[in-house]
Amino acid sequence: MNLVIDVGNTAIKLGVFEHYKLVDHKRTTAAAFFELFQKTIQKYNTIDAVIFSSVGNLDTQSLSLIKDYDLELVELSHRLKMPFKNLYLTPETLGVDRLALTAAAVSKFPKKNVLIIDAGTCITYDFKNSNEEYLGGAIAPGIALRYSSLHHYTAKLPLLSIKEPDALIGKSTEQAIHTGVILGVIAEIDGIIREYCNIYDDLTVILTGGDAHFLSKRLKNSIFATSNFLLEGLNYILGINKSK
């Protein structure tokens, strides 16, 4: 069995795979991570390999404790064997989460043009073509980051939580913020999908990340919404890099 660990900007996710089937997954914080890791290893004592991906911060003590276990440990980086050709101009700066998402696209949609939209702290757009070439994409602020920016970089705007806008025209400051943030994100995503469709008429679009469920019901375009796409990509990469 495989254990995949995704350290994000706001949370840590663990996924247990039996071959390519996700049998368990949990979400935790950095402070509670190692306790959950221990419980997972004890519960699934046939785990023999772990892949670790981090775009956030995890203390060095937790990392060293993981290495004390008799497990094959793979740390995700652009140097690993990938199921696609990476044409990014600066592969060493490409977020490892984006590598995992692209690997998942190859696994789930081989020989297809795929746009992966990861709506989390940031909204990332990643594209791989039908030749299994990763071309790149875009990075934009996520929903929570947009709310936070309006509050922190102005003198008087309040910090709000995500909420469906009441109308196109905001009739109060709070309504105007919700309208600007949410409808702005939806227009951005729909617009980018439309631009890709103008080039690739057979485009498959994947929406994932923490805000995927909220956004999927509001987007005009036909998409596949999935919450565990990154974990599946990590497991696929581990499968082609583990020694046994």
Q: What are the residue numbers of the active site?
A: 97
11 assigned ligand-binding residue: yes
98 assigned ligand-binding residue: yes
118 assigned ligand-binding residue: yes
DSSP-assigned states of every residue in 67-132 = HTSSSEEEE--TTS--SSEE--S-GGGS-HHHHHHHHHHHHHSTTS-EEEEEESSEEEEEEE-TTS
- Report d(CA 236, CA 108) in Å as an integer: 10
173 assigned ligand-binding residue: yes
7 assigned ligand-binding residue: yes
13 assigned ligand-binding residue: yes
- Report d(CA 75, CA 78) in Å as an integer: 10
60 assigned ligand-binding residue: no
190 assigned ligand-binding residue: no
6 assigned ligand-binding residue: yes
Residue found by looking up tokens 């700066």 in the block: 93
Angle between helices 96-108 and 229-241 (to 10 degrees): 90
Ranges assigned E (strand) in 160-234: 204-208, 224-225
- Report d(CA 232, CA 19) in Å as an integer: 11
- Please report, in range form, the residues annotated as the binding site for K(+): 118
- Please report, in range form, the residues annotated as the binding site: 6-13, 88, 95-98, 118, 121, 173
- Please report, in range form, the residues annotated as the binding site for substrate: 88, 95-98, 173
